[in-house]
Chains A and B, each alone.
Chain A
């Protein structure tokens, strides 16, 4: 089956620092999604990317859909304590109007912010 390599596995940063994480795959995906999971909660969608080369921002978050369709990155600028959690990338087929079949998730990046 398809696999996503998400890195880094964990990050220990100081508040205010910028964060960068990425996912790569040997397979092409038509959709890239980034989720965040807070402790004791389910994953929540942060950013959805539907077009190769697309760069999308959501507040301090920026994500890009790689031009080769095989990778995506997520950047968080000026991290704050509530950014702590596990971030998951997910790649999928063409989703518009078709539900969310076949999402493949990465193993997650655990973000820890040191005081």
Chain B
């Protein structure tokens, strides 16, 4: 069974540009989460989907970040326009209602 997959694995963009990250959760997992880790810092929660609905988006930094999960399958996280402080590794995770998170490999974003 495929795990959580994320694309791209690494993205390098200039300040002001737009980037869209994609996450495909494990098939059948209703819960999908986005987390971010800035270098040397903790992994911080961004938001949580249950199927296509946003359950909790309290961790989203500001309105430059937009997450969608149309149809309750894959999710995208768009950053527009990107700023320098947005650099970091963006992790997607999915779970069934058991509490165990299964993480993807992460998408490393570098904003120059």
Query: B-contacting residues of A (Cβ < 8 Å)?
Result: 4, 6, 31, 35, 40-45, 48, 88, 90, 92, 95-108
Q: Which of B40, B55, B105 contacts A107 (CB 8 A)?
A: B40
Q: Quick check: B48 and A48 within 8 Å, CB to CB?
A: no
Q: Which residue of A lies closest to B50 (CB)?
A: A99
Q: Quick check: B56 and A101 within 8 Å, CB to CB?
A: yes
Q: List 18 A-B contacts (CB under 8 A).
A: A41-B105, A42-B93, A43-B91, A43-B101, A48-B100, A95-B99, A96-B98, A99-B50, A100-B31, A100-B93, A100-B100, A101-B56, A102-B45, A104-B42, A105-B44, A106-B42, A107-B40, A107-B42
Q: Quick check: B4 and A42 within 8 Å, CB to CB?
A: yes
Q: Which residue of B lies closest to A108 (CB)?
A: B42
Q: Quick check: B45 and A42 within 8 Å, CB to CB?
A: no
Q: Is B25 an interface residue (CB 8 A)?
A: no
How many residues on B have C-beta within 8 angstroms of the other chain's C-beta atoms? 27
Q: Quick check: A42 and B40 within 8 Å, CB to CB?
A: no
Query: A-contacting residues of B (Cβ < 8 Å)?
Result: 4, 31, 33, 35, 40-45, 48, 50, 55-56, 91, 93, 95, 97-106
Interface residues of chain B: helix, strand, loop or mixed (majority): strand
Q: Which residue of B lies closest to A103 (CB)?
A: B45
Interface residues of chain A: helix, strand, loop or mixed (majority): loop
Chain B residue contacts of A41, Cβ below 8 A: 105-106
Q: Which residue of B lies closest to A38 (CB)?
A: B105
Q: Quick check: B42 and A31 within 8 Å, CB to CB?
A: no
Q: Which residue of B lies closest to A93 (CB)?
A: B99
Chain A residue contacts of B35, Cβ below 8 A: 105
What is the CA–CA distance of A101 and B104 in the complex, to the nearest angstrom? 17
Q: Which of B44, B98, B106 contacts A42 (CB 8 A)?
A: B106
Sample of 6 further A-B pairs with CB below 8 A, known A42-B93, A99-B50, A108-B43: A42-B4, A42-B91, A99-B48, A102-B56, A105-B42, A107-B40
What is the CA–CA distance of A92 and B33 in the complex, to the nearest angstrom? 14
What is the CA–CA distance of A35 and B99 in the complex, to the nearest angstrom? 13
